[in-house]
Amino acid sequence: MTMTTIEKIQKQISENPILIYMKGSPKLPSCGFSAQASQLLSQCGVPFAYVDILQNPDIRAELPRYANWPTFPQLWVDGELVGGCDIMIEMFQAGELQALIKETASKYQTA
């Protein structure tokens, strides 16, 4: 039985406590916003998962509807949509992003 795109998205989100949907990869981002967003995550010093939506056109098409968020990148933490690049920058500048990422990572390391 093949998974639907929505099931695939739900599985990715549930299996990866810190997940970014982006264009390209953290090492080779394909857009400025994805580059900025993955850089901010990297600065939090915790490993995170990513999905390259350019390699997954089905996810690229479905995720905005599923998330009710039209743009990429999208950061998901602990099953919740945090937001895109602008929100990540604001949170990072306020120190909130680092706290959220570290807290989530430590929660799953002990689990």
Condensed to tens digits (0 to 9), the pLDDT of residues 50-93 reads 999 999 999 999 999 999 999 999 999 999 999 999 999 999 99
Q: How many domains does the chain have?
A: 1
CATH number of the domain that residue 62 is part of: 3.40.30.10
**pLDDT value at position 2?**
85
Nearest to 19 by CA among 72, 95, 94, 89: 72
Residue 100 sits in which domain range?
Answer: 5-110
pLDDT bucket at 26, cuts 50 / 70 / 90:
very high
- Chain centroid to Cα 28, Å, comes to 16
Residue that wins the pLDDT comparison between 1 and 43: 43
Nearest to 8 by CA among 70, 53, 68, 69: 53
Region of 10 on the Ramachandran plot (φ > 0 left; ψ -120 to 50 alpha; else beta) = alpha
Distance CA 21, CA 10 (A): 13
